[in-house]
Amino acid sequence: MTSSNQTRSPEQALLSVKDLAMMYGNRIGCQNISFDLRPGEVLGIVGESGSGKSTLLNCISAQLKPTFGSVSYHTRHDGEQNLFEDMSEPERRFLMRTDWAFVHQNPRDGLRMGVSAGANIGERLMAVGWRHYGNIRDTATDWLGKVEISTERLDDLPSTFSGGMQQRLQIARNLVTAPRLVFMDEPTGGLDVSVQAKLLDLLRGLVQNLGLSVVIVTHDLAVARLLSHRLMVMKSGHVVESGLTDQVLDDPQDPYTQLLVSSILQS
C-alpha cells in the first residue's frame, strides 16, 4: 500500500524547455536552451542587446516556432502538452488568451487603443466565457483599482492615459483572467525612472499575491534582482550562466556575467 506522501512526485514543471534553438537562416537567434519553470517561480532572462532574449521569449510563448527542440506546458485539463506537436494553432491561441498573459514593453502592443479601459479588461473576461455585463464591468472596475488607476477612468480610451497608466492597464488586462503563466518583455522599459520604480513595486506585489509564474526579459539587472527568483544570463544566443538570482548577481562565475554586473556597479 502506498500513502499519498510516498507517491508524491517532485513538483511538476509548468513550462519545460528542452534543447531549444531558433535560427534565422544562418544566424543564431538562440541555441541549446533548456530549463524548467515551476509554479510560482519567476525566471529573469538578462543579457545585452541582440543576445537572443526576445527570440527565446517569443519561442516559449508560442509566437515563434523554434527550429529545434521542444516547449511543453502543463495544461489545466490535459496534462503536459508539447506546444508545437500536441496543440493546434487555435488551442495555442486559446491558451494565450486565457491561461497565459504577455506584457509587452510598449503598452500599445498589448492594448486595444480604440476601445475604453474597461473594454480592454472586459474583453479578456469575455474570452473565457463571461457574459454578464454588470459582472464584467464590476470586475474591470475592481482591477483598475488594483493597478492604481482611478475607477472614474473606466470609460476613457487608453490613449488619454500616461505611459505608466497605459502599462498598468495592460497589466490589468493581462491578469484579470488569473493566468498561470505570464511572459514579460521589458515591462518597465521606456518609462521614467520614478514611474518605473512605482510600476516595479506594483508588479512585485501582484506576482507575490497571485502566486504567478513569470518569465521576464530585461536588460536591467535591478529589475531582475527585484522580481526574479532565478536568472538566466544570455550572450550571443547562448545561456552563459544560470542560477538563483542573488547567487548569480553577487557571485557571478562567467566572465560575461562578471562584466555585466561590474558595468552596472560602475554606472
Ligand X SMILES: Nc1ncnc2c1ncn2[C@@H]1O[C@H](COP(=O)(O)OP(=O)(O)OP(=O)(O)O)[C@@H](O)[C@H]1O
Pull the grid cell for residue 35.
530549463
User: Residues 6 or more apart from 191 whose CB is under 8 A from it?
Assistant: 163, 164, 167, 199
The minimum distance between CB 53 and ligand X, in angstroms, equals: 4
**Binding footprint of ligand X on the chain (CB under 6 A):** 24, 27, 29, 47, 49-55, 219
| Residue (57 or 206) nearer to ligand X, CB | 57
Q: Tell me the C-alpha to C-alpha distance, in Å, between residue 95 and each of 127, 206, 261.
A: 10, 21, 36
Say if CB 175 and CB 142 are below 8 A apart. no
The minimum distance between CB 166 and ligand X, in angstroms, equals: 20
| Residue (120 or 167) nearer to ligand X, CB | 167
The minimum distance between CB 106 and ligand X, in angstroms, equals: 12
| Residue (144 or 231) nearer to ligand X, CB | 231
The minimum distance between CB 186 and ligand X, in angstroms, equals: 7
Amino acid identity for residue 157 in this structure: L
| Residue (37 or 232) nearer to ligand X, CB | 232
For CA atoms 47, 48, 51, 52, give the dihedral sign.
positive
Report d(CA 66, CA 52) in Å as an integer.
13
